[in-house]
Amino acid sequence: MRVKSSNKFPFLFLFILVILAGMLWLLQTTSKKKASKYPITPLTEQRTTLDLVQISLNEKAYRKLKKKRNKAVSVGILEAEDSDFVPATITFNGNDYNAEVRLKGDWTIHLEEDKWSFRIKLKDDKTILGMRKFSLHHPSTRRYLNEWLYHRAMKKEGLMGLRYGFVEGKIHVKMDHKNYLNKDVGIYAIEETFDKRTIESNGRKESVIIKFSEDYWWAEVRKSKAIADDFGLNYNDFMNYDLISKVKYPIIPFSESKVLADTTMTNYFKIAKNLLEDLRSNNINISDAFDVEKLAMDTALMNLFGAIHGTYLINVRYYYNPITSKLEPISFDGNSGVKLTEFRHFVYPGKERDTSYFKALAHALNKVASPDYLDQLLKTNQSEIEEITTELKREFRGSFLDMENLRFNQNIMRSELEILKHEFNLNNLKTLEVALDSTQAANASNKTKIDLTNRTNWNPNGVEFMGNNSIENKATVVTIKRTTTTNSGFVRIGNIDVNFNSTNTVSIKVKKGKQGGLMGMRLQGIYPNRADAIFDLSSGKLKETFNQGQFSNVKASIKKADGEWYLCTLQAKSNLNKVNFIFGPTDASKKALNWEGSTSQKVEINVDPRSLQIKEN
């Protein structure tokens, strides 16, 4: 039998070929799309001797970042979210890494011109300079070499600090298959962010790093800024500091989801949280919660470098050491190089004045306040300082390391050391090689007494003194009147010495003037630390009080004196060595948190300067 031929086979074969070709095309297209998330970094010319970091983005990713940046500039604040991350290729000294990047920085100083600040996370567990997560920002946002040397000092003393340095930066945006938009953005500071590698690089056992949640603070800033911008005013004028100061910010861990998924890490977090919470509530002493030697040295170095920005609650970071069961501070965002006006103590005083901590602090100050300490620190890092300075000068002008401020800060530290030596009988401490001058020694051991009744110590701001002999010390009544209704108005007596962790009461006799009938009083440290009260001189009643920062246990009273005169009293406990006393006329529209601000009329009060006094309870 003869078998019939069929034409189906060629058609079937052709059909299969078409299907295979289509699948191959689809596979190639998908592969190209996937690869396009991480653009190839173009060749470029390096301009400095610093390490080169290039950020390559596709056009879609760049537009998303730009949209976020423009929105932040319009409202004045960057609200960063995890969904902001976009894919990018990070090229470090010629080596490519897949990564995710987003904008960083709360304020728009981080987003000026093309030099945007970035948060970067490398993929596939890769690292650059030992870091998988890091930030790039303008060197000025951390005061150039001041912050760099601050971290070097921390590492030198065995404290926990971040990897910090300087790199050359370039941004490339792939617009199509061939063309790139290239941005030579100059020198960046590169700063490590917090993860397990931070702990490992500091020679510590794996554990948790905790902080206070910033959510409530920034929510209040956003609300206040939205109101202030409509009137062309500063957001601070609308901040509800009375409410903010009473809020207990939640304590949270870094990498929260990973911590809560691990039983051991969760237990570490619970212990760390309880320690910090108990200290914040003054239920335990500093030495119960912290490694006092490390905290003391951290406090000493923070004062040396004027790194007080890092002490604000939304900036503090603490590591829980599971071996010692104590917390350790981590230096971060100090804005170093600032000239101090007074010594800054650790924010939480604890249940009682902790002898072990303050003795450790005295030993730390004895070491760090020595001129030799700073000289040796400079000598050890001199070659790198010179190299970095040479590169910074290519792009920036001005001073990059504020040595005069650091040496000035040492003077303040030496004065504080003398106070501690006197209080805790630590005369056996090795004497510093530099002696206090007579003025410093007097201030440290005996406390300079300011004559509050002497009007040469009264500094008027937006007010004038009126009446017979109002400027002379023999005047028994002085009228204080606002000279403007649009600006602040008050009298300031500054740098009044008090004992740390003491309660102080200031009082003065007052009666209402021809305009208005209210007076404001304030005990103040470095902004925003303060205690305020407003007194109604018409009704003889206390209107309200307010406190923030290192002031607590605020009490105020107004009592009838002679005739129309009242004795007004303000009392507060402070974690400070110096306070300022501020007082002046105000009106009914003001609250205690801003009584010194603008008023509807040029209000005035009468005071008896002889009655002004401050007492320590």
Over the stretch 261-279, which tens digit does the pLDDT of each residue have?
Answer: 999 999 999 999 999 999 9
* 255 and 157 within one domain: no
Domain count, the chain: 3
The CA distance from 32 to 51, in Å, is 30
The answer to whether residues 373 and 305 touch, using CB atoms and an 8 Å cutoff, is: no
The CA distance from 454 to 264, in Å, is 62
* 97 and 181 within one domain: yes
Neighbours of 69 (CB within 10 A): 17
* 210 and 157 within one domain: no
The answer to whether residues 409 and 303 touch, using CB atoms and an 8 Å cutoff, is: yes
Neighbours of 558 (CB within 10 A): 20
* Residue-level pLDDT at 501: 72
* Residues of the chain above pLDDT 70, percent: 85
Is residue 427 one of the residues assigned to a domain?
no
Q: 241: which 2 tokens? A: 């500091």
The CA distance from 135 to 139, in Å, is 11
The CA distance from 135 to 90, in Å, is 12
| Strands 164-174 and 51-58, bridge-based pairing | parallel
- 590-601 pLDDT per residue, tens: 888 889 888 889
* 365 and 275 within one domain: yes
What's the rounded mean pLDDT across residues 96-122? Answer: 91
* 239 and 170 within one domain: no
Tallying the residues shown for the chain, one arrives at 617
- Is the confidence at residue 6, as pLDDT, over 90? no
The CA distance from 14 to 23, in Å, is 14
* Residue-level pLDDT at 289: 96
Bridge partner residues of 570 (DSSP)? 506, 556
The CA distance from 56 to 96, in Å, is 10
- Is the confidence at residue 562, as pLDDT, over 90? no
CA distances from 271 to 206, 289, 322, 325, 529 (A): 15, 10, 9, 8, 30
What's the rounded mean pLDDT across residues 547-573? Answer: 90
* Residue-level pLDDT at 445: 41
Lowest mean pLDDT among 110-114, 510-514, 562-566, 584-588: 110-114
Give the end of a domain, one of 170, 193, 216. Answer: 193
Is residue 419 one of the residues assigned to a domain?
no
* Residue-level pLDDT at 383: 95
* Residue-level pLDDT at 238: 61
- 198-243 pLDDT per residue, tens: 999 999 999 999 999 988 776 777 777 776 666 666 666 666 655 5
Give the end of a domain, one of 193, 214, 238. Answer: 193
- 49-76 pLDDT per residue, tens: 999 999 999 999 999 999 999 988 887 8
Indicate the burial class of 351 (C-beta count within 10 angstroms; 0-12, 13-18, 19 or more): middle
* Structural domain boundaries, residue 336: 204-383
What's the rounded mean pLDDT across residues 336-344? Answer: 92
Is residue 118 one of the residues assigned to a domain?
yes
* Residue-level pLDDT at 450: 65
* 533 and 564 within one domain: yes
- Is the confidence at residue 542, as pLDDT, over 50? yes
Is residue 188 one of the residues assigned to a domain?
yes
- Residue 552's pLDDT band, with cuts at 50, 70 and 90, is confident
* Residue-level pLDDT at 312: 85
- When the pLDDT of each residue in the chain is averaged and rounded to a whole number, the result is 86
* Residue-level pLDDT at 437: 40
* 239 and 180 within one domain: no
Q: What is the DSSP string of 412-440?
A: HHHHHHHHHHHHHT-TTSPPPSSPPPHHH
* 70 and 181 within one domain: yes
Is residue 443 one of the residues assigned to a domain?
no
- Residue 248's pLDDT band, with cuts at 50, 70 and 90, is confident
Is residue 415 one of the residues assigned to a domain?
no
Lowest mean pLDDT among 18-27, 161-170, 253-262, 299-308: 18-27
- Is the confidence at residue 297, as pLDDT, over 50? yes
Q: What is the DSSP string of 302-328?
A: HHHTT-GGGGSTTT--EEEETTTTEEE
331 contacts: CB under 8 Å, gap ≥ 6: 150, 151, 154, 159, 160, 161, 162, 298, 301, 302, 307, 310
124 contacts: CB under 8 Å, gap ≥ 6: 98
* 151 and 97 within one domain: yes
- At position 356, the amino acid (one-letter code) is S
* 238 and 183 within one domain: no
Helix or strand (DSSP H, E) at 187: strand 180-192
Is residue 245 one of the residues assigned to a domain?
yes
- Residue 79's pLDDT band, with cuts at 50, 70 and 90, is confident
- 519-541 pLDDT per residue, tens: 999 998 765 678 999 999 999 99
The CA distance from 99 to 38, in Å, is 8
What's the rounded mean pLDDT across residues 360-387? Answer: 96
- Is the confidence at residue 37, as pLDDT, over 80? yes
- At position 443, the amino acid (one-letter code) is N
Is residue 71 one of the residues assigned to a domain?
yes
* 209 and 345 within one domain: yes
- 399-455 pLDDT per residue, tens: 999 999 999 999 999 999 998 988 888 877 764 434 334 334 444 444 445 677 787
Give the end of a domain, one of 169, 193, 217. Answer: 193
Highest mean pLDDT among 170-184, 342-356, 378-392: 378-392
- 110-134 pLDDT per residue, tens: 888 889 999 999 999 999 999 999 9
- Is the confidence at residue 291, as pLDDT, over 50? yes
3-class SS letters over 527-595: CCCEEEEEEECCCCEEEEEEEECCEEEEEEEEEECCCCCEEEEEEEEECCCEEEEEEEEECCCCCHHHC
* 562 and 466 within one domain: yes
The residue among 21, 52, 57, 19 whose CA lies nearest residue 36 is 57
The CATH number that applies at residue 605 is: 2.60.120.260
